[in-house]
Structure 1
Amino acid sequence: MRGKHVMFVGDSLGRNQWESLICMISASAPKMQTRMSRGDPLSTFNFIDYGLSISFYRAPYLVDIAVVGGRRSLKLEDIYANGNAWRTADVLVFNTGHWWSHKGSLQGWDLMETGGKYYKDIDRLVALQKGLRTWANWVDTNVDRTKTRVFFQSISPTHYE
């Protein structure tokens, strides 16, 4: 992994995997020089002695959310803003699923956009399918699989914070 950039992209499941990997590597070489950069949506932990960067990019839906007329729009066919941040990784570990079913105050968007139209809501499984199709098209178009490894994990059967 020397000289590599590993990026976890998704929700708290990905964040937990990111934190666990950092802990395992830190425990194996406790005296190595490190640097942490926290941000939203991107946080990165650097193992300076090895030139290894491990990042977490918070994107619970993978697709973009944009503010339109003061309302958060989940853009089921757009991943441009998020995807630009992922291009430099050597290993991409994606996850999504958990947040698509939330309603009310836990819902991360006000509208869904698909086909150039805005909807208050659509069937959540249809929305997830559209979002995953957008993500898969992004991977096919933007990832050189001879240089970058891509992994995907869907929703876990149980969820603990």
Structure 2
Amino acid sequence: MDLQPIPDMNETDSVPPIFEPLCAVFRRRLKADGQKYTPERARVLDAVIRMDGPFEAEQLVEDLRASGYRVSKATIYRTIKLMQDAGIVQRVLGGDDVPRYQMIYGAKPDDTIVRVDTDEVISIDIPELIELRDKICAKYGLSPSSHRFQIFATGNDA
């Protein structure tokens, strides 16, 4: 399923594109897969929206339980997978084997440096990466929909 921003007829370079609400995107994907948008899935989606930066599924479990919601780990993991399929979140690699995710729908690409010695994830903003991505896609007659750039590094701390 190709999810694209709804074009704004009066769009200029200074006006960001208009995106569909996440719940509508998620509902449409679930319906296409013959699944339902349940209250539990809605709570998981809301919790993901509130996350700031990369997160672990276990963080969602803790946050939802702290808020008084009872959502099983299985529901959270299945919902994250469905959100990946819908283009709402993507898996982010870290220095350890713990899967992390981040919101990508409606967000500019989040390029990162992952310190494998401390598991710290540092967001970086390098406009030249976007230019390079666009140039590479144009060379092959493609239009980029997103990208992920990660550097794995260790510190020089002694």
Q: Kindly indicate whether structure 1 or structure 2 has the higher relative contact order, using CA contacts under 8 Å at least 6 residues apart.
A: 1
Identify, as 1 or 2, the structure richer in strand.
Answer: 1
- TM-score, normalization: structure 1? 0.29
More helix by share: 2
TM-score, scaled relative to structure 2: 0.29
